[in-house]
Structure 1
Amino acid sequence: MDEIRDVIIVGGSFAGLSAAMQLVRARRSVLLIDAVRPRNRFAQASHGFLGQDGVAPAEIRRRALEQLGRYPTFELLEETVSAVDKRECGFILGLDSGRAVAAKRVILAVGVTDTLPEVEGLAALWGRSVFHCPYCHGYEIGGGAIGILASMSLAHHQAAMLPDWGEVTLFTEPGVTFSDDERWMMEGRGVAIERSRLVRLLADGEHLKAGELADGRQVPLKALFVQTKVKPASPLAEMLGAEMVVGPQGPYVKVDDWGATSIPGLFAAGDAASPAHNATFASAAGVKAGVMAHRSLMMGD
């Protein structure tokens, strides 16, 4: 086994990279382990992220790694962590390659995986014409016909928000219902509520053209927003027995305001540790977790 690092960060997207920057600038040894399968790999560009608006997520990662690489205490390992154990000295992490690495502290920035609604043609358009966040992608739609597929009752919040980006039609999955007040709110915002089920998306390449309904009608659409079911992309937090929260879209790691989990020395940041998913939120959470991991090392010293 290698020497014990100060911190191992698992996950190399916005949260993990932001945490690493705080720690290497504090002159701490950091090993960033990344499986290179970020949730944002389906998106062509990141939007609403200050200073990075319109830049591809992969390019943001490349720039960040280039900057982190200038610090002598930073190391990148592109592998998958498959096991983790808590020891008196800190944490031992097992990699798919069979190698074991150790650190005094661990930050989980593993992100989440999405389970998409089962509508024909939807998966092929994910990140291109089918989205989950209007703040991230709504402006680029340029107005016009927008759909929202309600997979859960909380969709009425997003449906009422979307008219700021276009003309909205709401489709519902079987079993999803809304109260009279929720329907009144959506209709008051100009949302058209479609009774027939959405069964197929029709596209020209990556460009959505229409949604086909169960009764055979076609509704013109430029984009569709959905709610996905999510779960942490790695089970490491659960392996260690960290407390989880069941959110509206799925489970996430419970953390305090600074990213500390219920396991001493273990921190978490980004989409896997929050019910709200956004590049800026993830980056800010990574900064907090990195700072708090450093402070915990100071106290340990």
Structure 2
Amino acid sequence: MLEIRNVTKHYGSRRVLSDVSFTVGNGRMTGFVGGNGAGKTTTMRIILGVLESDSGTVLLDGQTLTASDRRRFGYMPEERGLYPKMKLAEQLIYLARLHGLPTVDAKRNTADLLERLGLGERTEDTVESLSLGNQQRAQIAAALVHDPEFLVLDEPFSGLDPMAVEVVLNVLKSYAAEGAPVLFSSHQLDIVERLCDDLVIIAGGEIRANGPRDALRDEFSSPLYEIHTGGDAGWIRDVPGVTVTEFDGGFAVFAAETDVASQQVLHEASARGTVHSFGQQRPTLATIFKEIVK
């Protein structure tokens, strides 16, 4: 488990991180979201040792993170940093060798990753000749080629089309499934919502929300319920303690004064016929984000 504990950072007189604390669990995909300048990249650079914090610490399994530990990380910066005139496969093999992998393992990992990321036919292409989306995939491959045990990825989905996003999602999920803690930032909140197990929201250098995705959605849920029935749902207006706010044939949104009232609607709907869905309205990540950082 990776733990960021009470990290504070100043640039001159400007404080960019204030007592930042959160954890990235083993086998968990942790989405790290915030607006531009919120502190995401600074936090990631401190985790990787690129920057030093003014106070606080980063722990790995309860112990202070060391330079040796950081060699086990796969890090993808937001800025592309590959050699533009070097052939793709040659470059990945070189990076894997720099991390200490034997040549045979470096070549095997390179071939496997490029195939999984849809770049199997681009091995002899130079990085600068690739499209921007393929350059992004290549940058992800560079972060993974040395078999890292922990992943820290800054905007890994930037510039990817929907099909490429799915490819990358599957690759990252496979690392988490093998037990790797995965921390990734993204401005694409719909992707974060689909991918993350846990969510950290930062604004103004402070953590505003932190926890399992579904628990946060429950916490910010509205007092409204949705029901979709097989017939006309107009009768819901007559249920005591219920106020219908939206209605369209068999679909209705309503407020209930008590849990008993909401369950009465479900019971009555079931007695009248088919109930396709019923539940409390749960907000999207975008809605939660706007509520927290406004």
Same fold, TM exceeding 0.5?
no
Larger Rg: 2
More helix by share: 2
- How high is the TM-score relative to the length of structure 2? 0.22
